[in-house]
Chains A and B, each alone.
Chain A
């Protein structure tokens, strides 16, 4: 039995790296006594599959992970017990039994909300307009394979500048998952390249959703097919 879980990384726990999140989940699963299935071999590991983690320092309302279980459990029990066993700030939002298909194939884009304290909304809007008017904007970032240059513009599906107040702008962003991944800080670097936008305070990015990009620019809930399939299964068995 496989279970798919949506969780949030909130508040001060946004500073957890993916490795920190993974270690904390493994301990939480043991504390919650979730009956994990283990890999075979010399050094067995619990079978956990992660889907594209939000960067260290970024908060998220929509992280996904899939577990293989040795014994079937109620998803609601798993959601509640795992949530209770994890520290506040790593919050389990949803859990469904995997029915079919791969979770990773249902995710190809993310939507982000990036708070930009100290940035005037008008400046952000101007910079966003400039970015969207380009066909290609290259930025450079240190990755684990060394410094890489890559295009940001092609990954940006939509970008909108809004105002929280006169001195705090909000960037609403939908970006495709590409290789290398274009992250909110890459988009901010691109805004600096095209319009010289340089926030003097650290940006505060939050991933709001992940899913398959639909024709209208919104994202499909990646757990919906499992819920729908499960619903049909119940319907069939009662018929």
Chain B
């Protein structure tokens, strides 16, 4: 029978796998609805291990929004590790949800959120375990509609064969719209089958359906054209943009995992979008325009979320959290409110300036002082102009001095290697910066024991950015430059022991580059890698470059293209890019002009505070920047202490309960409208 729990059959297998708790569900604030109570049933997947997938904000937001609908249910599934995969196959059990342990194949829709391209092989594992044909064209009427979303889905072409539909952009309203269409279609008796359903979803501009578009190629391997093969659908599917984040204060009751996960804290997204214009940053380009949550909503979400979860740490998320127009008052207000409690606050993603140190001081008032992270991204001033990251060495040194003077003893500096136009000298300037930082720290603190960690990621050009045309640096070049840098720092006795290095080899970045800018021909590579055992490609211990390289040779060679062709080749202006038919709101001519400005080492201002520079998003999408200050205040204003009973205090013992009244139910007051998905922290590269 459809929707039955498989737990009785699964349970005997769990003692035989590593960390079985990740498969049992039962998290705080998780939701199980009776199968028969719902007309539209979603299974939401994060295609990575539970410990990575559970904290994902996008998935949690959609899970809550969908379950709020009376006739919709949503459950979650995550990638199972190879030990359980083998047992599921041996015992003929399918991919299951962790909520009610139902078979994924029983649901109407399978929504998969891709934060990174390295989850593609895990999608295939889940489909195969679920008994869903890998190829959309072979799916039966009873199979779920497979919907991809998340940032990586802005170029879904490499997985076009494996998905039925793609949501571009914010998911909150999109999933409700999709649910409406599915509900109506089912009520009519599913006329026209899944093709008709997909056509209705396309016509409503809810999704992009890859099967409704044909791609043709030129003799030299480049794309000739991408064209819709039906006349009743929009020729250019476009992204969803949520307006008025204050109406969508999700997640209201974040999930509280029983198992240990990568983020043991609650997150509140304080704004979405970023117009700083860092040219490498895909998130900053595809999430425009900037839309802030106001101080009142942020305050209420923090309060309600802490009460609902029992977490003792709150992260204020966004692409550049210090840019919120009310961040100073938010920081002070929250620090005041939680001064006597054990709640700690963090601001994960910030820019390099002294203001951030002030904020960090506010946030560490009642707790321990963790490290401070600054991301100059490029080693040299010249390179920072190329990438439009407007930070000078003087800014950095001044900021770091302030931090050390305030008692911080460790800073982390984040850079990228392999950026367009980069030379050995640009990378070696990272060593100079590190030296200046250590000297400044020693001078400001009066101590010799000062440390800085230099963390370096390989740059991967991403679709819908000015660098979408750029040549990716080969992994050999990246590795050689990083070795040169490390040797230089090691040889410098003044700082060798004060500077720690963190970087990974460049090969996974090349595969990420292949998948990020690939076209439909890359799908065969993904499938071959998966058939040869490729799983969990985001994990060093599972990733095999050799497997990807040989699969590329086998599948791409006969077509006259190659791994290098997709990665280290620079594109010309007029080349049809695989994602050109997908509208992220960005004007292609503007992106190209900005790419040319990058090559001329010209910077570009932020449109939040300067006149519009015509990226195209607002007019195309009918949206506008939504920023404060609003003049509202952080509520509730009362303090919260470490622990106060609301009842049961012994007679004769004064109750501290009064300190927390006011605001216990604040979450309900701001609960209204709808939410959205695809929250991302950090910039264009994995931190």
Selected from B26, B311, B647, the residue in CB contact (under 8 A) with A88 is: B26
Given A33-B643, A44-B342, CB of A73 within 8 Å of CB of B650: yes
Contacts of B342 in A (CB 8 A): 38, 44, 46
Q: Which of B16-24, B442-450, B527-535, B568-576 contacts A (4 or more CB under 8 A)?
A: B16-24
Contacts of A78 in B (CB 8 A): 648
Measured in the bound complex, the distance between the Cα atoms of B259 and A78 in whole Å is: 24
A42 near B368 (CB under 8 angstroms)? yes
> How many A-B pairs with Cβ below 8 Å?
108
Given A30-B310, A33-B643, CB of A81 within 8 Å of CB of B28: no
Report the minimal beta-carbon distance from B24 to chain A, rounded to whole angstroms.
4
B310 near A71 (CB under 8 angstroms)? no
B650 near A16 (CB under 8 angstroms)? no
Measured in the bound complex, the distance between the Cα atoms of B653 and A77 in whole Å is: 14
Contacts of B25 in A (CB 8 A): 12
Measured in the bound complex, the distance between the Cα atoms of B510 and A149 in whole Å is: 48
Contacts of A31 in B (CB 8 A): 28, 307-310
B310 near A29 (CB under 8 angstroms)? yes
Q: How many residues of B contact A (CB 8 A)?
A: 41
Selected from A12, A24, A85, A88, the residue in CB contact (under 8 A) with B11 is: A12
Given A13-B24, A81-B648, CB of A35 within 8 Å of CB of B643: yes
Measured in the bound complex, the distance between the Cα atoms of B25 and A16 in whole Å is: 11
Report the minimal beta-carbon distance from A144 to chain B, rounded to whole angstroms.
16
Measured in the bound complex, the distance between the Cα atoms of B13 and A201 in whole Å is: 9
Contact code string B18-44 (vs A, CB < 8 Å = 1, else 0):
001101111110000000000000000
Measured in the bound complex, the distance between the Cα atoms of B653 and A85 in whole Å is: 23
Tell me whether B260 is interfacial, beta carbon within 8 Å: yes
Contacts of B264 in A (CB 8 A): 23
A30 near B643 (CB under 8 angstroms)? yes
B27 near A27 (CB under 8 angstroms)? no
Tell me whether A20 is interfacial, beta carbon within 8 Å: yes
Tell me whether A147 is interfacial, beta carbon within 8 Å: no
Closest to A35 in B: B643
Given A23-B260, A27-B309, A28-B310, CB of A77 within 8 Å of CB of B24: no
B643 near A15 (CB under 8 angstroms)? no
Q: How many residues of A contact B (CB 8 A)?
A: 42
Given A35-B656, A44-B342, CB of A57 within 8 Å of CB of B643: no
Tell me whether B644 is interfacial, beta carbon within 8 Å: yes
Contacts of A117 in B (CB 8 A): 12
B368 near A89 (CB under 8 angstroms)? no
Closest to B17 in A: A15
Contacts of A179 in B (CB 8 A): none
Measured in the bound complex, the distance between the Cα atoms of B136 and A113 in whole Å is: 50
Measured in the bound complex, the distance between the Cα atoms of B28 and A85 in whole Å is: 9
Measured in the bound complex, the distance between the Cα atoms of B21 and A17 in whole Å is: 8
Measured in the bound complex, the distance between the Cα atoms of B342 and A38 in whole Å is: 9
Given A20-B260, A44-B342, CB of A72 within 8 Å of CB of B650: yes
Contacts of A85 in B (CB 8 A): 310
Contact code string A57-92 (vs B, CB < 8 Å = 1, else 0):
100000000000011111011100100010111000
Tell me whether B7 is interfacial, beta carbon within 8 Å: yes
Report the minimal beta-carbon distance from B257 to chain A, rounded to whole angstroms.
9
Measured in the bound complex, the distance between the Cα atoms of B28 and A33 in whole Å is: 16
B24 near A74 (CB under 8 angstroms)? no
Measured in the bound complex, the distance between the Cα atoms of B16 and A70 in whole Å is: 42
Contacts of A72 in B (CB 8 A): 649-650, 653
Tell me whether B670 is interfacial, beta carbon within 8 Å: no
A27 near B256 (CB under 8 angstroms)? yes
Tell me whether A26 is interfacial, beta carbon within 8 Å: yes
Tell me whether B192 is interfacial, beta carbon within 8 Å: no
Contact code string A18-52 (vs B, CB < 8 Å = 1, else 0):
01100110111111011110100011101000000
Given A15-B20, A35-B643, A77-B648, CB of A71 within 8 Å of CB of B656: yes
Contacts of B312 in A (CB 8 A): 26, 30
A76 near B258 (CB under 8 angstroms)? no
B647 near A16 (CB under 8 angstroms)? no
Tell me whether A146 is interfacial, beta carbon within 8 Å: no
Tell me whether A231 is interfacial, beta carbon within 8 Å: no
Selected from B21, B26, B368, B648, the residue in CB contact (under 8 A) with A73 is: B648
B653 near A81 (CB under 8 angstroms)? no
B660 near A33 (CB under 8 angstroms)? yes
Measured in the bound complex, the distance between the Cα atoms of B259 and A16 in whole Å is: 7
B645 near A13 (CB under 8 angstroms)? no
B26 near A29 (CB under 8 angstroms)? no
Report the minimal beta-carbon distance from B51 to chain A, rounded to whole angstroms.
12
Tell me whether A235 is interfacial, beta carbon within 8 Å: no
What are 16 contact pairs spanning A and B, CB under 8 A? Answer: A12-B7, A15-B21, A15-B24, A26-B310, A27-B311, A28-B310, A30-B306, A30-B310, A31-B310, A33-B660, A34-B643, A36-B642, A72-B650, A77-B647, A77-B648, A87-B27
Given contacts A28-B310, A35-B644, A89-B26, 15 further A-B contacts (CB under 8 A): A15-B14, A19-B260, A23-B264, A24-B258, A27-B311, A29-B310, A33-B645, A36-B643, A42-B368, A72-B649, A74-B648, A74-B650, A87-B26, A117-B12, A201-B12
